[in-house]
Amino acid sequence: MEASVILPILKKKLAFLSGGKDRRSGLILTIPLCLEQTNMDELSVTLDYLLSIPSEKCKARGFTVIVDGRKSQWNVVKTVVLMLQVILVSANKLTRYIEPCQLTEDFGGSLTYDHMDWLNKRLVFEKFTKESTSLLDELALINNGSDKGNQQEKERSVDLNFLPSVDPETVLQTGHELLSELQQRRFNGSDGGVSWSPMDDELLAQPQVMKLLDSLREQYTRYQEVCRQRSKRTQLEEIQQKVMQVVNWLEGPGSEQLRAQWGIGDSIRASQALQQKHEEIESQHSEWFAVYVELNQQIAALLNAGDEEDLVELKSLQQQLSDVCYRQASQLEFRQNLLQAALEFHGVAQDLSQQLDGLLGMLCVDVAPADGASIQQTLKLLEEKLKSVDVGLQGLREKGQGLLDQISNQASWAYGKDVTIENKENVDHIQGVMEDMQLRKQRCEDMVDVRRLKMLQMVQLFKCEEDAAQAVEWLSELLDALLKTHIRLGDDAQETKVLLEKHRKFVDVAQSTYDYGRQLLQATVVLCQSLRCTSRSSGDTLPRLNRVWKQFTIASEERVHRLEMAIAFHSNAEKILQDCPEEPEAINDEEQFDEIEAVGKSLLDRLTVPVVYPDGTEQYFGSPGDMASTAEHIRDRMKLVSLKRQQLRHPEMVTTES
């Protein structure tokens, strides 16, 4: 009888084995009666199941039955007592027969009992026992059949022989978990001594679990070995069959496909078409190479297993398969490299042809003057294109020679086929392309030399124009510096003379700048006549140059006049202030004083007058502040001269004041 069959009855806890023992080591069977009417049939079934659990040795020691009728009616208690033929004692006298530690809490003892926990463990145990027993029978049948069966039986499909009804790993795991639970719960220690757990080995048969696990491990190990041996034999047969399939295809249809492909094409499109065809061939080969890789791995795994009986056959298969695959792969790679080299050669030839076309188109277009920088950039671009053509032609020669070398080696795997005709056509095509590109390059180089000379003259023309414009800018800057920084008239005659000398040198620099600009403009006229073109700036730059030079000349002359007046003023003033003339010369001194005063006033008036250019525009020297500072210095000098004049007229006043 299994617990799962009567599970609803067992859950009612009509009776249970608590795990406790009497003084004779007999198991204690407890029947807890309740207020509700107890079904005697269910109680009988429960007792039959519980009494079937202990071992025969345990049954021989007898049982102590505790009928708890404290919550039930007497007629029910009486019925149970008569049915079991037990002796009635009161609850307080139980300790005469049973130690308190072997009694549950309901009877004042300390023994712990969880009925549902016990029932769940019992269900697990019975399930494991049932599954393991069935599995042992199946594994034994499989293992024995493998040992005794004939060759025909060994080759039988594994659907029935190799698949047990339950997973051995799962059953083993369940058994180990159950055994671990039993071993952990066997004893439940307490201060009063050792109390037996309801999961005692006598109740759940721990030795039986251990024995079943040992048997399962033994049979499962044999089963795994049987599966491994049969799997290995089947795998070896499959490998042999697949190896022959790969070898037969590579040496048959695969080789025929390669024999039919020899050309390299006469253009990029033709080479690409051949390469696409070769990729299709490679794709078909790849499928068989993938099978080869898989087979090689399988063979290597079997060789590592170390079964000597299969080593010779496996190595022979591996060697045969490797030789055929490597030879075919080498031929595919050679063909692919040849087509790739042809494609690269035609690609370089096409690029070079386009470069030559572009260079020729550039040379056929007349150069329109723009500016020096753009002409220089165009010249640089022309040189770069010519250099690029040189590099392209050199690359074409290298690619062509490499392709010729590969073609010369093509007969090494021609399978006896004469490829001389195909090779001659390919060689003639390659050499013809290289010779044609060389002639086209030479024609372009001759045209580049002519264009280079013309463009260099243009660069020189625009350089002259730019430098002439720069000369105008420099002259304008000199004019600006003259008006803004050449302001001072000097504190004395000597300083003013130094300023006048510096100014003349400044004018010489401006004169050189003007002459340089005129020379550049004359050079642009000559270059334009040589190039048969018109200058962009000759009509504008020359008037600007002359206009700025005229303005500079006017401003420079004004500067010279002011400095000369300042020299005359300072010289006379210094002469008066330094001399000590006698009274007879006072009349002459009066004339000198008047002259100094007149020159000073004229100089002051001139400071306020702007420089007037021919176009009517006006410019002042310096800022109003600079002008005021210069005028203030002149006035101070005039005051000193006036004071000197008073001293000469009234010497007694000076003496008295002294």
DSSP characters over 469-498: HHHHHHHHHHHHHHHHH-----SSHHHHHH
Rounded CA separation 27/102 (Å) = 10
The pLDDT score that the predictor gives to residue 394 is 93
Domain ranges of the chain: 3-113, 114-144+166-187+195-251, 266-453, 486-649
Range among 121-130, 373-382, 527-536, 549-558 with highest mean pLDDT value: 549-558
Q: Tell me how long the chain is.
A: 658
pLDDT tens-place string over residues 257-309: 887 777 888 888 988 898 899 888 888 888 888 888 888 888 888 778 766 66
DSSP structure string for 213-251? HHHHHHHHHHHHHHHHHHHHHHHHHHHHHHHHHHHHHII
pLDDT tens-place string over residues 509-550: 999 999 998 898 888 888 888 777 776 555 688 888 889 999
For residue 409, give the 3-state DSSP assignment.
coil
- Which one of 3.40.50, 1.10.760, 1.20.58, 1.10.3470 gives the CATH number of domain 486-649? 1.20.58
Other beta carbons within 10 angstroms of residue 78's beta carbon come to 12
418 has pLDDT over 60: no
The pLDDT score that the predictor gives to residue 377 is 81
Q: Name which of 425, 435, 427, 521 is nearest 470 in CA terms.
A: 521
Confidence tier at 553 by pLDDT (50, 70, 90): very high
Dihedral over Cα of 369, 373, 374, 375: its sign: positive
Rounded CA separation 527/342 (Å) = 51
DSSP state of 343: H
Q: Name which of 629, 613, 516, 514 is nearest 555 in CA terms.
A: 613
The pLDDT score that the predictor gives to residue 401 is 92
Q: What is the mean pLDDT of residues 405-417?
A: 64
407 has pLDDT over 80: yes
CATH 1.20.58.60 fits 266-453, yes or no: yes
pLDDT tens-place string over residues 312-332: 877 888 888 889 888 888 888
Confidence tier at 227 by pLDDT (50, 70, 90): confident
406 has pLDDT over 80: yes
Which residues are CB-contacts of 539 (< 8 A; sequence separation ≥ 6)? none
The pLDDT score that the predictor gives to residue 146 is 62
- Which one of 3.40.1520.20, 3.30.43.10, 3.90.170.10, 3.40.525.10 gives the CATH number of domain 3-113? 3.40.525.10
Same fold, 3-113 and 266-453: no
The pLDDT score that the predictor gives to residue 309 is 64
pLDDT tens-place string over residues 560-603: 998 888 888 888 888 887 765 444 444 456 777 878 888 888 88
- Would you say 335 and 278 are in contact if contact means Cβ atoms under 8 Å apart? yes
pLDDT tens-place string over residues 41-100: 888 888 888 888 887 888 888 888 888 888 777 777 777 777 776 666 776 777 777 888
Share of the chain above pLDDT 90, in %: 10
Rounded CA separation 378/387 (Å) = 14
